[in-house]
């Protein structure tokens, strides 16, 4: 359940606050509608479009790669990692669908200006057995649009949690000249990988 909450949680003025909450509510509502589609191909295609629109792939990609971001010996692998961010996100979401069965999400009508150009919106996930989990969606603004950059659960950053796993796997690569390329090759070869075009 923690992984699901982190995944869901992994999105100055009152007008901005309302807009941030509305963005999260609209994104989650669209996501739930898409996940309920009977056609797997339609679900994956629409989920890819939604995810590409709502996440800040550059911010998240950089955070996930950490020390490997900008690795001069593996520019091709790093570029591929960024390009495949929506695909990797959609693959993880679809893997967690079973965990979300019968669950509902409530979004706070207010957001918090974090003072660094980002906003936090509280959400509550209620499972089919009545258990509740509180999390926060973290957003930044690119141009005039909100984008999801992180989610926290009990103060733990979902992106930092995932970054530890990603960087550990990259660090275990047998090819330390091209470790990100090897990581991506492994990810994309997995039968559950969903390719977003």
In the chain the domains, ranked by start, together with CATH numbers, are 2-189 (3.10.450.710)
**Opening angle at CA 65, ends 63 and 69, nearest 5:** 100
Cα–Cα distances in angstroms (integers) from residue 23 to residues 18, 58, 146, 147, 164, in the given order: 9, 19, 7, 9, 28
C-alpha–C-alpha distance, residues 163 and 180, integer Å:
13
CA dist 176 → 13, 33, 74 (Å):
47, 42, 9
Per DSSP, what are the bridge partners of residue 145?
142
* 121, β-bridge pairs: 111, 137
Query: Quick one: which of 3, 1, 2, 5 has its CA closest to 136?
Result: 5
Tens place of pLDDT per residue across the chain (197 aa): 445 554 544 433 333 447 999 999 999 889 888 888 889 999 999 999 999 999 999 999 999 999 999 999 999 999 999 999 999 999 998 887 755 667 788 999 999 999 999 999 999 988 878 888 899 999 999 988 999 999 999 889 999 999 999 999 999 999 999 999 999 999 999 999 999 97
**CA 149, chain centre distance (Å):** 7
């Amino acid at each position: 359940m923690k992984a699901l909450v982190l995944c869901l949680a992994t999105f100055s003025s009152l007008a901005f606050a309302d807009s941030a909450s509305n963005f999260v509510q609209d994104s989650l509502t669209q996501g739930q509608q898409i996940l309920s589609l009977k056609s797997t191909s339609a679900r994956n295609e629409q989920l890819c479009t939604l995810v590409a629109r709502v996440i800040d792939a550059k911010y998240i990609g950089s955070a996930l790669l950490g020390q490997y971001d900008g690795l001069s010996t593996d520019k091709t692998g790093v570029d591929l990692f960024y390009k495949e961010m929506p695909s990797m996100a959609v693959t993880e979401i679809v893997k967690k669908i079973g965990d979300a069965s019968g669950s509902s999400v409530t979004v706070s009508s207010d957001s918090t200006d974090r003072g660094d150009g980002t906003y936090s919106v509280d959400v509550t996930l209620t499972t089919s057995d009545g258990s509740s989990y509180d999390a926060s969606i973290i957003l930044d603004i690119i141009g005039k649009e909100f984008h999801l950059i992180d989610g926290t659960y009990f103060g733990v950053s979902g992106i930092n949690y995932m970054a530890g796993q990603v960087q550990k796997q990259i660090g275990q690569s047998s090819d330390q000249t091209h470790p990100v390329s090897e990581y991506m090759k492994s990810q994309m070869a997995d039968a559950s990988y969903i390719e977003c075009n």
